[in-house]
A and B are shown apart, each in its own frame.
Chain A
């Protein structure tokens, strides 16, 4: 069974930083493209960023609102993907999901349960 477990969410002040983790099991993590998608009541689902598998180059891509502030990385030995969030803004408040897959090839085929990030003074 594929499982994705996010952690690291919490309350942070504007301008602060937070690192989210997502541990995967039940699949070959090193071959998986990993994504972060966030959800807010007002804006629905929004893709945040992704990291390709190392065999596919291991490159990262980001949505415009977070580019330069967020960084996605992975540790295939720990089966874990990370989302480092710096210079947080109030509008980054959301439930953050990690997902596997490529939107065009497989769709986002597995999702974690999400971790809540609240940016507030």
Chain B
């Protein structure tokens, strides 16, 4: 059971906009920054978003992050087949004194 809650799956068609939610509590998302990671099949996770909505260089602006209270969202616009991957959210947890992850969302591009 992960500390942060994500839907196990999401899907969309090419060109569509999809959002993936991440729900937490006051001890993690409610008081700390959220980051998002993309894991393509058979590869290591890759940082997509940090500090709620900042993109590292090289990450397309099709990916965006937002946070409100104890929830966060990752939005992917102009969906492409290469976006098919697992997506994870993460945040520091003040109560656990360490980072916590969501259980991951498997995105399927139909």
Binding site for B on A (CB under 8 A): 35, 43-47, 61-64, 97, 101, 103-114
Contact = CB atoms under 8 A, between A and B. Distances in A.
A107 B88 contact: no
Nearest to A35: B99
Nearest to A111: B44
Given A112-B44, A114-B44, A44 B2 contact: yes
Main secondary structure of the interface of A (DSSP, over half): loop
Contacts of A61: 97-98
Contacts of A44: 2, 88, 101-104
Given A45-B90, A113-B44, 14 more contacts: A44-B2, A44-B102, A44-B104, A45-B104, A47-B98, A63-B96, A103-B92, A107-B35, A107-B37, A108-B47, A108-B90, A109-B56, A112-B44, A114-B44
Nearest to A48: B98
Contacts of A63: 96, 98
A103 B47 CA distance: 10
B56 A97 contact: no
B58 to A, nearest CB: 11
Contacts of A111: 44-46
